[in-house]
Amino acid sequence: MGGLVLVEVDATGRRVLLERMADALLTRGALVGTPGLSSDTLVEATPHVEENTPFGPGNGLAFTSARVPGVTGSSLCLARVKEPIDCGAPDGTLTEFAAMMVAPENQPHLAVRTMARLSRMAASTEGRVLLSTWGEPAAFRAVLSDHLGDHDAPILAADLMRPPVCTLGPHMPLREATRTMMRQRFDTVPVVDNAGVLLGEVSCDALYQLGMPDFFGQLKSISFIREFDPFEQYFQGEAGALVNDVMSREPARVTEDATLVEVVFLLSVRRHAKVFVVREDKLVGVIDRILVLDRVINV
């Protein structure tokens, strides 16, 4: 894979940043002389050109890719910006480093793996020091090559997951828990103890099931009892409960080395809303259906 490293890039926003990296790939990178390619073509081929599109994965890193018909090899441009800019990262961090990858249209896995390995660098203390202090692009390219690893390796849970941004405690009142879920717009949230150990999950589906009479599940229609409201009494009674009283103790959990097919099996066949990634029982990441689709289709 061809690679370029840019330092102290002066960019006022995401569009300018993308243009700087696209220009570098076309004038100094492996794409020099490729017919039909222009800076605008590359920028528009990325899924993150629109300002309202979250440009992650976060931890100060923004990553995007362009899948271009006719391109046979992959190219990567990594840039360190002169002043951090807001690219709408999911975790709210400003972008200090950005990467643009150009890959063959039929090889989306290359971008997923590259983004995952760069994301791990940005999330680790050692990696952030490396990203923040490199000075000589040629020397850094050699280090970067070591971190990017083997592109023939399978995609793992660690490559897909996002860090958990919302958790509940087992002794949290249900009123507070549902307010937290509402603020974050999450319908399934992990429950962890003070040490970060995954204990279970609370989901809107489970909460609704608690308030639904058993016979509801057998009905084809509720037209003949539509005035009957079983939820008024339920919400009055359950409002004083704790998370520990209502959580499921069997969430979908995997380790970081679980493969993509294992994750998809839990999401699609077992119908779990989220898969939680654990390291020595401690929650380290979350994967849901839209995240997998976004990684595979849009990265």
Return the pLDDT at 154. 73
**Cβ contact 66:45 at 8 Å:** yes
Predicted confidence at residue 139, as pLDDT, reads 62
- Residue 39 has a pLDDT of 87
Q: Are 87 and 55 in contact (CB under 8 A)?
A: yes
- The two three-digit tokens of residue 214, written as one number: 């058993």
Concatenated DSSP letters for 244-287?
HHH-BS--EEEETT-BHHHHHIIIIIS--SEEEEEETTEEEEEE
Q: What is the pLDDT along the chain (299 residues), one digit of tens a residue?
A: 557 888 889 998 889 999 999 999 888 877 877 777 888 888 988 888 787 777 778 888 999 988 877 777 788 898 989 999 998 887 788 999 999 998 887 777 778 878 877 887 887 788 878 777 776 666 666 666 666 655 566 778 887 888 898 999 999 998 899 999 999 899 999 999 999 999 999 998 888 777 666 666 676 776 666 565 655 565 565 667 899 998 999 999 999 999 988 999 999 999 999 999 999 999 999 999 988 887 666 65
Closest to 299 in 3D by CA, of 56, 15, 37 = 56
In degrees rounded to 5, what are phi and psi of residue 197? -75, 130
State the Cα–Cα distance between residues 82 and 67, nearest whole angstrom: 27
Cβ partners under 8 Å of residue 61, min gap 6: 95, 96, 97, 98, 99, 118, 119, 121, 122, 131
pLDDT at 202: 96
| Global confidence as pTM | 0.68
Which of 78, 83, 64, 60 shows the shortest CA–CA distance to 11? 83
Domains in the chain with CATH codes: 2-152 (3.40.930.10), 174-298 (3.10.580.10)
How confident is the model at residue 226, as a pLDDT? 59
